[in-house]
Amino acid sequence: MIETRIDRRFAKLKAEGRPALVTFITAGDPDLATSQAILDALPEAGSDVIELGMPFSDPMAEGVPIQLSTQRSLAHGHTMDKTLQMVRDFRKKDNDTPIVLMGYYNPIYVRGSEAFVKEAREAGVDGLIVVDVPAEEDNELCIPAIEGGVNFIRLTTPTTDNKRLPTVLENTSGFVYYVSVTGVTGAAAADAANVAQAVSRIKSHTELPVAVGFGIKTAEQAEEIGKNADGVVVGSVLVEAIRKSLDETGKATNQTQAAVTEVVRSLRMGVEKARK
């Protein structure tokens, strides 16, 4: 597979001796224009890799904050076409920061896997995280993604044992996303000691970077997790910042973008302290 922006970014950060800050927002939340402004502002605020959620009506792995962000996006008529256009518009200003589309298979399936991968790659997408396509079904989307030059990033969890892990990792590329707690997104805080053991175990099976997510909300937590992980993934705290910034009618305010970037800057300070 050809080298991607994800490969280059993690290699650069490894050379610098610090973990990546991976940030998640839902495309179109709370509306298209505000979401685009937030997306465009994330790199300067400190994001190294961006996960852009593809809104879907049944986000079964998500906790309440991301479910609500999806509802806000869909209520404003957001579509996959608009998500891909957001990436195109982002690429007019930033050709270096990796973008990973994250979500569920249904919106991809209806477009056709190969057609979707081609369109996503041309828009400037570097990777996919699709949580409901198991490793046993790699021919559905994973293989077309790899053949199309897009990293396919898989999730591992505390319940992914050593027997299962090689199957999960077989066609994974870009990085491995370790879900540090069982349950839905934003449900609990990660335990740094358990994460360290898990990252070590995963690394014994792969040379890929390991990014850790779920339950990381503060700079202090990011610092602790970043001492062992190659990347620290944050999402629920960012979409909550959006929600709290909205006015009484649920519309964006002049504080919405700043609410997100302020949190990102704080988290970036945490990951920068992780290896000092």
Query: What residues are annotated to the active site?
Result: 51, 62
Which tokens sit at 72?
Answer: 């806000």
Can you give the length of the chain in residues? 276
Tell me how crowded residue 219 is: count the other CB atoms within 10 A of its CB: 18
